[in-house]
Structure 1
């Protein structure tokens, strides 16, 4: 029967996939924190001064 075999993992491949996943998580968290710190100031600078414009 084709397609029912359990694939065997090469340890190097598993380490590579784990490293890429870890890097993606670190970048996601890092950019999220950076956006929270810099985002409001940057938007205020780009869009303009106050939020009282009616």
Structure 2
């Protein structure tokens, strides 16, 4: 588990680092869900086309 007290003792730099980590995690979650939805919608069609079916 991450100790947030370490971030608060660093001042503004710690808050910036925490915000950056949060932004990266949020972006990763959005991409994960987005790519999953695209794969669900188009995956089978792409596979069939690549196989020449």
Measured against the shorter chain, the TM-score band is: 0.7 to 0.9
Structure having the higher Rg = 1
Unaligned runs of 5+ in 2: 8-13
CA RMSD of aligned residues (A): 1.6
Unaligned runs of 5+ in 1: 1-5, 50-54
- SS at 2:6 equivalent: coil
4+ aligned runs moved over 3 Å, structure 1: none
Larger RCO of the pair (alpha carbons < 8 Å, separation 6+):
2
Structure 1 residue corresponding to 2:40, chosen from 26, 36, 48: 36
TM-score computed with the length of structure 2 as normaliser: 0.73
TM-score computed with the length of structure 1 as normaliser: 0.72
Higher helix share: 2
